[in-house]
Each structure stands twice: as structure tokens, then as C-alpha cells.
Structure 1
């Protein structure tokens, strides 16, 4: 899609049946320039489009144009589009395979006596699950439509198995949401962004997306406990009381009570994105699924133990003050009673694990990492890694893996400490590069890094991490670069989590001017109303969390500026406060 402006989106897959079958509240002091959208697309009516069928005597180029126009039918359907196809193609054409959007398309033109071509500009693609796949390869942007004569009229003899639509049409009719699957150990939920049609069928779209599963491309990254081969029928109904009735057809049921619990957690976390649903019940092959205790009506607030931001993870801020570990809130930080809060160990950056029981600090020279309990006076400080060149701030995931990136003269080396063992991990596109900062998602499935590319500026790279069902790291996918809308080289000073599937990026646009922008990690354009703010002054970093209840801050040497919608402005920091962050 064109990157000329942010636009709204939100997640899943009903389209593939038919179609395919806040503004940010800124600090109260100091001049700030905010970029915002004028409302939500969900509040705007969708205009129906009734495309014209093929007209008698239409030329070959007119038939191709009519075919493209017919794919924009609203409500979404492809009945009219199929009328432009040759008889043999009408039944085999499958627009559910892919969705292609474009900013502009050239007028159809003849390429020989029996072929019409259309050139797509700024074209992007989504797969059959409606998961974002990024820019359409250059070699695919000229689309050929061979034509033939049937009963004296031109008809299209071959066409891509895809719905091909303008990006403006797509952004008005689709939104992005998350489908929730599990990590390979079935311990924590892993959100996977997809797109779904707007309208009153959101619950049906969410259920359909879950039934499709995460797909083979996410093997060893996420898994589903909803048995394969099930079908939801015509639609999922929601009662006036807000109870979704999920009646699944099929002969396969969850294997045991644990599998039932995990399946219901997937439904709960996914369906809570629909404000019309407060609870749900599931039947498989006419048999009602129940949780232990005979509970059949399940609240969408169930499944807290599998929270993708970490079950009972600490919401406090942690940092250093004059070299000692402190914790608290933006309005006040106090030394912890563990060894790092009582004795100066000479550390420059740190990370605290999700339940705030252990802290890892990088020594002042960047050569080693020490780990100690956050609380537990008198305990020893352990050295977990040594002999490094220049370690970045570390990160923890839900399994208490401690992730490290060492900036060696030969480029970045990525490793992790788990069960007292240090293991290297090769991540193509990041390993060996000049890395300026990194994040690891709390669910352990995503690694994000800022890679410096010399005169080309910085780039944000994202990789997916693979595990087995015992939690062992198996490898990482080749990192993909996120597209940044706008001109000029990026000078990224910091990254922070914004949600479980998006980050906040601090980009320097001048000596005393910085931009903070939210970016989805699937590479799709930012949604309308997403964070995009320009801040004056020397902004040193960001403090952010994937948890929706925890605020995002821009950090200066002496203060925190609240950038979240619930924020209350500026908080002063005591002198000597550094390395602030949430757990993870």
C-alpha cells in the first residue's frame, strides 16, 4: 500500500468467504506538534457499490476495466466479476488465495491482439489468511489478462487468483485485529495480526480466522489448540445479552480438559476485540464444550494466565539512580532491597524479568552482565556473561530467557542465557550488522533491532523466533525491514513496546527535535489515530510496555513526558536517574 499517510485497519478473515467468498494526549507543558486523524473509519458508513456487468460490444480493454471495477463490489462479493471471465475460468478462479491493493492503476492497454495489461503502482499484498505480506514484487506489478472471444464478446481467459482492489477501497472496508494462538510450549498466547472486513460480522470473522490456524509459515512460532477440520457454518450469532454462540461442525473435539482450557483461552482473547461480545459458548458436533466445573458460558475476560504481556507481570518502572536499582512509578522511585539496590556494582543499563524477581545489569565497560534478585537482601550477584565487547541493554522473555546483543568489531552477536547456559543465535539480517538497539517480545516470538546502514541511515528489522515444545530455541527467520513512511534518513535513538504487535520509535529529525511514531510489526501501514508526535528538546529515549494499562513515556535527562491517551503530562525525575524501563 502507498505509504503517503497512516490509515486505519484492524484484523481477521470474513472477507475470504465472500471476497475472498485516539488520538494521543500529549504533555501539558512545552510546545508539541501532534499528527492526528479526524476520527475512526468504524464511525463512517460504507457506501454500497453495485458494479455493472459486461456490456454488449465492449472492447477487450473495457472488459478488463469492468473486471477490476467489479472486484470493488460492496457488500463484498465476486458474482459480477466472474461474468467478465471465460466460461472455463469462472469456476476455477479463486480470489480467496490473495488480496492485492494498489495506490493507482494504469488504464488497461493492449499488448498484442489477445492480451491486455494493467500496471499497478505502490501495490501491496496479503495472503489467504489476510495477513500482511508487504510490497508486491516489481516483476508482478504489470498484470496481464489474456482475452478470448465467446459468443462474439471479449472475455478474460486467465487472471491472477487474487482480489485486486484500490488501497482506498481496502482501508475503508477492512480493519486489523489479532488472532491469539499459543507459543510452542502452550504457556503464553502469541498474537498474530490479520485483516478482517468492517461491519457487523466481526465475531464471525474472528472465529473463522482462529479456525484457519496460524498457518504453516508460523510453524514452531505459534500453535493452535482448536482442532483442525472444524467449520463454523453460516455465521456466529451474538445474542442481545452479548453471548456469542459458536456452533462448530465436525467430528473432532479437544483431546482433554487442558486442551479445552487452552482452546477457550484462544477464543476469549480473540473475541474480546469485539465490544458487542461479553461471553461465548462453544459446541462441537452438537456437543457443548465445558470448562472444569461444568461452566459452558465463558467470559471473554477468561484466560488471564496466558496473558501475552506476561501473567502477573510487574507494572512498575525500574531504573538506576546513581548506579543503584530503583523501582516505582513515574511520580516516585525508590531503591529496591536486593543487592543491586544496596551496593553499586558498576552497571550502566539493566532489564528486570517479567515477575520482577531478577534483574540483569550490563557493566559500565559493556563487557559483562550480572544478575541478582530484585528483592532478597544479602544475596550474591552472579556474572552470567563476560568477555563481551559492547553489550546493549538486555531483555527478558516469559521463559526467563535473558537476551543479549554484543556489538563486536565484526558486527552484532546475538545470544541468550537459559538454564545457566549461554547460547548464540544467528539471525540473518541482524547478526554481523551494526545494531544500535533491540527488543524481544515477552512471548519470545519476535526480535526487533535497529540496524545502522551507513549513509543509508537506520532500518528497523523484525525476525520471528522458533522454539520446540520444550522451550528450546530452534532458530530465527530472516529479519524483514519495516517500511517507514516519509523522506530522509532515519536516525533512530530508541525503541519501546507500544502493544504486543507494535512498537514506538524515537527518530531524531533535528538537533533539538524528535519524532515518536507507532509502527505495526507486521509491516502494514499505521492505523488512523495511531501515535505520531513531534517533540522539541533533547529526548534521550522511550519507556514503553506492551501492556495496554501501562503508559508510554518520552524520557529526557530530568523528566518523563507521558505520551499515552491516559497520561497526565510531565513528571520530573530525581537527579542521576537513568536506564528507566518496564519489565521485559
Structure 2
């Protein structure tokens, strides 16, 4: 069991309650965002328009917000909406506050204009997004007359732009770092302005390192390096010349190469096919690696690699089944002997062989976690008053559960249970669902707290001494509640079931909370109540106690042309 739309009712009520005639309803909250550096020389998008003659205070404020959506360095047109003193002092290099398209403006008798809108989150100077809560953005723009024309005398720090303009100007990109084993790439979402400088900006973001939330859970082979010159893209080949690295036998050049190649070739708007990496103008000393590197040269680092040929599993009347044909899984778990209510399976990443099975069995007054080889005998390894559905990652043969709502426990295959430090969890509420990301670097948690069942995502931090902790647990979908279930569609995207009983809907969103979007229930006879997903696999849901599979925008039965299979708690082995 198991990086974006839907505005909070609070925001909708506040916006619709305002008296301005320029209100347009919105379905998403607002985001404060800071400008990513290294902007392109050319302007991108719709040219900004200067103030119209005899513009009203409201028109001046709206014009200023529209002009902020220009990518011209310094945004000179936006400054035309300011008084000379304000224009000299104002800078667009700070935070960018993104507000919903349906913002309201209300002019006062004194000449000021109050802008009110929903808030989506913040993106800092490195392009890192932080989702906001359900609060409302509000700013009172003071205006004065300059030569008979209204001008803003005290603009907010940084920029205020519309969410639609932000989406038009900025591209979501993945900056990849390495998991602690240095074997798999981990996405760290960034938002960079479009244009020819984007590859250079992305490499600089990689060199600067991961976001604060992810930093303790990943490694950065590019740490200490610098760009000797800007990244040039010609004939779909990006050329990256580094400096500042002292090469020795321990320098992770292969990992560094995979990091750059996967990150740069993932820039959708750049059409980069291959990457040439040099150090002070000389090729990297790598054996058996071509000068022009592609992702085909680094397949083992694929950030969303999954075990080959694994199929979905589910439970029916306590027995484990496979979702390809509904047949019982091998061994006693497939016969129903253990009476499992939920389960998880690990696979060998080298050949896709299913190796480790863990399942939760309800007991009178509690629950027991059973574990053992896939297809073999299972043994009790952990008990509690309650146990969450187990979860596994593709990088380690171990299973995680939450015991009694607050104690996160990991059980290595063949090992003994070990506590996972999660100091912020108890203060949030009771953990009902946990899901490790396939790369094992993040943990999604559905917490039942004072504000209802909300979704949180923390970073898994592993110490050299063997201890494991969850760093923070920020909320990533504040407008969704109650959250019923969560699964990882990829290492950078979550699928979520949310809604009141009888109104549950599947959503997708980025791991940072950006891009929340409803997916729809077309093809389902009832609302979905349980979810299973994995990279490269069609997500599964349970609706009406039957299993359904996502296919090209709709839900269908697992076996085409046949009745849906009965079952619960679907999942994919990892």
C-alpha cells in the first residue's frame, strides 16, 4: 500500500469576498519565488508594456505585476511604474512572489492599492521551491503622483508575478546528486528561467550543491569544482569545462560524469543529446568512456531504474497475488496462511529476482510484521498495537514500518529491528502511511494531525556509524486533506489519494509540492481507496474492492476484456 492544482477553500472565500471588479477565480495557491541567477541576455515571452497615460492606481499596480514577468535584466519596464526614488532603490534580484492569476486589487481613498491572492510557495536564488501553507498573500502598494501620473513609491522586495507567468518563464528541471552508496542519481527539483544560459545556470546549481532539505541525504561529486567558462551547446552537444578539481585515485569522476550527463540531457528546451566534459581544457581521465558522453554510457545511474520484469502485487483475503494474471504468489504467503493485510517485496536490482518479503498480519489487540525470503517461510520480527503497511526501497534489502503511530522502525533482511530517529514526527501527529522513495533517500508520510491527514516528505539521513534518521518532515500538499494514501510514481513525483470518504481523487505532484494536479477517476466504478505505483510502471488503485490500472489517462481492469480482480493493498516490488 502505499515535482500540481486545487485551491484551499479559505483562499477561494477570501478572494471571492473582495469587492474589486477585477477578480478571476483561481484553483491554485500562490508562491513566493526568488530569481534564479544566470539569466539569458534576450528577453523571453511577452514584451512588457510601459505605463499608459492617465492610468489609474489599480492599472499601475497591475501593470507593474505584468512587467515583472519580463526576463530582461533589471526589468527596466517594471521600474517605469515606480517613483524615481523607488526605481533607484528597487532590485529584482531578491525573492519572487508568485500569486494566483485571480488576484484582487482594491484602491483606497489615499491612493494605495491592496493586492490579495493565494500563496503557492517560495523559490530561492538557487531555484529551490518551498511550498507555502494556506495563508493569503496581501500587500498594500502605496502610490503618489509624479508629474500628474500615479507611481508606486514602496514596492515589495523582489518580484511579484503571476503563477501563469512563472510557468511561462521558468522551466522545472532536475538537478541530480548521488545517493549515499554513490550508485544512483537522486533528483533535486529546480526552476530556472528559459534561454541559452540555462545549461550554465544548471551546472552552477549542481556545483553549489543540493537543497538544504536534501543535503544530508546525498553526495555531490562536483563539490569544490568551478566552471572555467560558460556551458556552450552546439549541434546538441553541451561542452562543460571544469576547473578547481584535484584529481587523485579517489576522485569520483565516473559519478561526476553521470551527474552532469543525466542533468544536462534532461533539459527539455535545450535538446542536448550528449555532453563533453573537460578539466582545464583536457578530457577527463576515464577509461572506456567516449569524449561525447550520453546517458547510454551511464545506464546504471538511471535515476528511475526499476528491477526488470517485476509485476504488481496485491492481497486478497489475506493471500498474496500477482497483478499480471491474478495468480497466487509462490510459497505460503500466496496460500493465505499468514493472513496478511499489507505487504512489500524487495528485488535484486541486478536481475529483478524477487528476494525479500515482509507483510503485516492483524492480531487480536495488535499487529505483527512477518519477514523472510520471497516464496519461503516468514517469521515474526516486530509487533505493536498498530503497524503501518510496510515499505521498501530499491537500494537496500530492508523494510520500514511505523509502530504505534510515531515509532519508525527499519528491519534489514535477515537482521533485527532498528529504530529510525524521527524527532519531528511526534509533534506533527500520528503517522498512518509511510512510503520510501525508490532511491531510498526520501520518505513520504501521511500524518493525521490537528489539521487532518496531511502529506509530508522528509530526507533519509544515514550516518557512517549505521544510524538512520528522518530530517524534518515539511508538508508538501497543504491544500490536500484528508490524504488517504501515497505512492512514488518516480523518485521526483508522488501520486496521492485525497478527499473525504466517498470523494477520494488521485492527484500527482512533485516531491517539493509543485504542480499539484487532479488525475481523474474516469473508468472507476467507485472512488479509489488504496494506491500502488513505481517508476516505469502503470499505477494501481483499489476501487470498490477491485483492482484497476492507469492507462493513457483512464483506469482499466488489469486483465483486458475480463472482470476486475478483487483485492486490496496494491504495490510494486522494488
TM-score, length-scaled by structure 2: 0.77
Q: Is the contact between residue 428 and residue 447 of structure 2 (CA under 8 Å) also seen in structure 1?
A: no
Q: Which residue of 2 aligns with 1:554?
A: 541
Q: Assess if the C-alpha contact under 8 Å between 1:427 and 1:479 holds in 2.
A: no
Identify the range of structure 1 (127-136 vs 197-206) with the bigger mean alpha-carbon deviation.
197-206
**How far apart are residue 260 of structure 1 and its match?**
1.0
Q: List alignment gaps of at least 5 residues for structure 1.
A: 22-44
Aligned-partner Cα distance in 2 for 1:417–1:77 = 54
Q: Give per-residue Cα distances to partners, 1:238-286, cap 9 Å, x unaligned.
A: 31xx3222234x3335654651111112122223323522211112322
Find the residue that maps to 1:305 and give its secondary structure.
Answer: helix
Q: How many residues align?
A: 531
Compute the displacement of 1:567 (Å): 7.7
Q: Do residues 439 (structure 1) and 435 (structure 2) align?
A: yes
Give the direction of change, closer, same or farther, for the CA distance of 1:111–1:192 in structure 2 (3 Å limit): farther
Seen in structure 2, the aligned counterparts of structure 1 residues 554 and 464 have a Cα distance that, compared at 3 Å, is same
Residue 16 of structure 1 aligns to a residue whose secondary structure is: coil
Q: 1:37 maps to which residue?
A: none
Find out whether 1:128 has 2:125 as its counterpart. yes
Query: Against the structure 1 CA distance between its residues 236 and 137, is the aligned structure 2 distance closer, same or farther, given a 3 Å change threshold?
Result: farther
Deviation per CA, 1:40-60, whole angstroms, max 9, x where unpaired?
A: xxxxx97431342899x9999
State how 1:429-508 maps to structure 2 within 5 Å.
429=425, 433-453=429-449, 457-468=452-463, 472-484=467-479, 490-507=481-498
Which runs of 5 or more residues in structure 2 are unaligned?
8-24, 349-353
Aligned partner of 2:94 in structure 1 is 97
Higher RCO structure, 1 or 2 (CA under 8 Å, sep 6+): 1
Distance in 2 separating the partners of 1:153 and 1:214 = 46
- Alpha-carbon shift at residue 168 of structure 1 (Å): 2.2
How far apart are the structure 1 equivalents of 2:148 and 2:225? 44
Alignment partner of 1:251 out of 221, 225, 244: 244
Q: Decide which of 374, 378, 381 is 1:384's aligned counterpart.
A: 381
Aligned mate of 2:409, from 398, 411, 415: 415
Determine the structure 1 residue equivalent to 2:222. Answer: 226
Quote the RMSD (CA, aligned, Å).
4.3
The Cα shift of 1:476 comes to 2.4
Partner of 1:50: 48
Structure 1 residue 481: Cα displacement: 4.9
Q: Is the 8 A contact 1:13 1:196 kept in 2?
A: no
Match of 2:20 in 1: none
CA shift in 2, pair 1:269/1:469, >3 Å:
farther
Report the counterpart of residue 284 of structure 1 in structure 2: 279
Is the deviation greater in 227-236 or in 298-307? 227-236
CA apart distance, 1:93: 5.4
- 1:532 aligned counterpart, secondary structure: coil
Q: Would the alpha carbon gap of residues 70 and 424 (structure 1) be closer, same or farther in structure 2, given more than 3 Å must change? A: closer
* Counterpart for residue 33 of structure 1: none
Are 2:324 and 1:352 equivalent residues in the alignment? no
Change (3 A) 1:534 1:232: farther
Alpha-carbon distance in 1 for matches of 2:215, 2:145: 42
Give yes or no for the alignment of 1:197 onto 2:197. Answer: no
- In structure 2, C-alpha distance between the alignment counterparts of 1:46 and 1:95, rounded to whole Å: 16
